[in-house]
Amino acid sequence: MTATSGAVAAATLDQGPATLIYNTRAGGSGHCTPDDLVEALHGIGYAPVYQATTSEAELRAVLENVQGTVFVAGGDGTVRAAALHLAGQTGVTLGVIPLGTANNVARTLGVQGTPTEVIAAYADAAAVPFDLGRVTAPWGEDLFLEACGCGAFADVLAEYDPEAGKSPLRAVQALTTSLSSFDPPPLSLTLDGQPEPETAFALLEVMNTRATGPRLRLATHADPSDGQLDVVRIDVAGREGLLAYLAALARDDFEALASVDSTRAACIEVPYSGQAFHVDAEVRPPMPGVTGVVRVDAWPGALHVLVPTGGRS
């Protein structure tokens, strides 16, 4: 089949209705326009409607009764905002077109390339379940796509200002520096109803995707469709040197370090004594004097997402 006949064949497919959400402020948005994306979606058989949204209220209104496939062109923040509105809805599938800096969700799904390359790959794609994490805590309730946790990264994120220039390197440096000096209180986790020994954790991350924040790959083998969450932690007593963490992150084998323990669980309970937490890129600041439990549950299949054939490893 020639390239021309392949394009014609793709154009004859009827993929059904689609909505395009496009964040023109995302990092890679200068490489294409909404018209480019609409044309590309038409080319693989969709009937897309472009919706410009400039606020959370507008996004909520667009997605309230949406059906078919929702393509979100933007970074992790835009994807998260759309996904949380779509969570639990039936008859809708999310298609991620990564334009941001980290693109943690897209990378976990194996979705990479220019926007038009990604759309072309969606001509041969399957809808797969995508879990979310539910958080019930003294500060309220939350949902997350990527991760939540406390310890060094939550404290770093409280100080890290992405708007000052998103830099994965700067984030890695800040995290590894904090890991070498962080002095947390001991905690006794409960994983799927089983209490763990009391331990002081320099890092405690409950991961749904393989990376969080500015592309920090802390859970190399996380699978957001397995109905579980990856609990990644570092015991303060066994923590390693700064160079060990930098090298492991560079090699993409963070979990292989002797000081890193990773376990999968569907329900995680963390004692709360007012410490800072993060939920994706949002910080839940310290609440001194407040005690309780932070409960994190996997929400299996909360979403369905498009994945190109052969996209996920």
Could you give the percent of the chain with pLDDT greater than 90? 59
Buried b (16+ CB within 10 A) or exposed e, 46-71: bebebbebeeeeebeebbeebebbbb
pLDDT score of 279: 96
Residues 222, 91: one domain? no
Closest alpha carbon to 27 in 159, 212, 163: 163
CATH number of the CATH domain containing 105: 3.40.50.10330
More confident residue, 273 or 14: 273
Q: Which pLDDT belongs to residue 153?
A: 85
Please give the single-letter amino acid code of residue 291: T
Mean predicted lDDT score pLDDT of the chain: 86
Closest Cα partner for 145 from 119, 192, 109, 191?
A: 109
Q: The domain that contains 181 carries what CATH number?
A: 2.60.200.40
With respect to residue 115, please indicate whether it lies within any of the assigned structural domains: yes
Which pLDDT does position 2 carry in this prediction?
36
Specify the pLDDT at position 27: 53
Over residues 187-243, the pLDDT tens digits come to 999 999 999 999 999 899 999 999 998 888 999 999 999 999 999 999 988 888 878
Q: 114 and 234, same structural domain?
A: no
Lowest mean pLDDT among 31-40, 159-168, 273-282, 297-306: 159-168
- pLDDT at position 291 is 96
Coil/strand/helix, residue 253:
coil
pLDDT at 7: 40
In terms of domains, do 106 and 168 share one? Answer: no
**Residues 87-128 pLDDT 10s:** 999 899 999 999 888 899 999 999 999 999 999 999 989 999
User: 100: domain range?
Assistant: 3-124
